[in-house]
Amino acid sequence: MKLTGTLTVPLPPEEAFHLFTARGEERWVEGWRPRFPVPVEDDTAPGTVFETGAHEAGTGHRAR
């Protein structure tokens, strides 16, 4: 499945970018709590893996 869309964020790109990282979404998404199987300092690094409890069984994600 592929979903696409657009979203306008009234912030400079360097500020808006951090709102859409694994940890950054905690600031505005209710219940968003990413868990990292391996400790990471930079959650934006390519290949970073994290899980969320967004669905009953949990969902795995990988940063690109």
**Residue 60's closest CA among 27, 31, 22, 26?**
22
pTM: 0.66
Judge contact between 48 and 36, C-beta under 8 A.
yes
14, amino acid identity: E
pLDDT of residue 27: 92
Give a yes or no: residue 25 inside a domain. Answer: no
The number of distinct structural domains making up the chain is 1
21-63 confidence digits (pLDDT tens): 999 999 998 888 899 999 999 999 988 888 887 555 555 555 5
CA distance 2 to 11: 27
Show Cβ contacts of residue 45 under 8 Å, excluding neighbours closer than 6 positions.
63
Domain assignment present for 2: no
Q: Is residue 42 part of a domain?
A: yes
Q: Is residue 62 part of a domain?
A: yes
In a domain, 5, yes or no: no
